[in-house]
Amino acid sequence: MKKVKKVNKELLSRETVFEEDGCIKKITLGMAEKMIDAALRWARNGGFECSVAVLDASGTVIAVHRDNLMPETLEIAIDKAYTAAAMTAPTRMMAIMTSPMTAMGVGPDGHGTSLGFRHKLRWCTVNGGIPIRQAGTSMGMKVIGAIGTSGCPSGTDDNLCSQAGATSLYE
């Protein structure tokens, strides 16, 4: 009986685990669930439904939930988070870099557009994926995972939904 109580406590623990130096070392399942619930709540408040995925630093899914009737949004959410984790940058940045309409896309040597990634099957350079860092948002911090959203009416909404999830880590 004692063992069962302990397990229940572990199961429900959604506390973010901070190291002594204030960094988050890794994302646990409880933390991933907390992020996804917060993101889905944000979307529900806005009146729409979406899929949210949380990945760890290896680009493997920790948890993914689909809240709507569009099956493919779940795969796209995973791919967006994978792209963010692999590039250690928001997919918003990749969208700008690969767009032929922006200054980065039409740079002197076409640097951005040459990053077309069309051969990368899992690459998704669309708004909605955000990397999660050990602490803060500085580029120098190590990426411990990523969150991706798909299914919102617009890319901006996807981004905001992911941000709502990422922010909930510090609640």
Partner 1 sequence: MEITLGIAKKLIHAGIKEALLKGNPCTIAVVDGDGWLVAAERMDGALIPTFDIARDKAWTALAFKMPSSDIYKFGDSTMPGFGFNTTGWNDRITPLAGGLPIKDGNEVIGAVGVSGNIPKQDIAVCKTAVDAIL
Footprint of partner 1 (CB under 8 A): 3-4, 7-8, 10-11, 28-29, 32-33, 58, 60-67, 71, 74
> Minimum distance between the CB of residue 23 and partner 1, rounded to whole angstroms?
18
Contacts of 92 (CB under 8 A, 6+ apart): 127, 155, 159
> Minimum distance between the CB of residue 167 and partner 1, rounded to whole angstroms?
21
Closer CB to partner 1, 36 or 160, in the complex: 36
CA dihedral (162, 158, 149, 125) positive or negative: negative
Closer CB to partner 1, 70 or 106, in the complex: 70
> Minimum distance between the CB of residue 68 and partner 1, rounded to whole angstroms?
9
d(Cα 166, Cα 111) in Å, to the nearest integer?
30
Contacts of 19 (CB under 8 A, 6+ apart): 25
Closer CB to partner 1, 59 or 96, in the complex: 59
Closer CB to partner 1, 32 or 87, in the complex: 32
Confirm if 43 and 152 have CB atoms less than 8 A apart: yes
3-class DSSP assignment, residue 97: helix
Closer CB to partner 1, 71 or 140, in the complex: 71
Confirm if 98 and 113 have CB atoms less than 8 A apart: yes
> Minimum distance between the CB of residue 40 and partner 1, rounded to whole angstroms?
8
> Minimum distance between the CB of residue 62 and partner 1, rounded to whole angstroms?
5
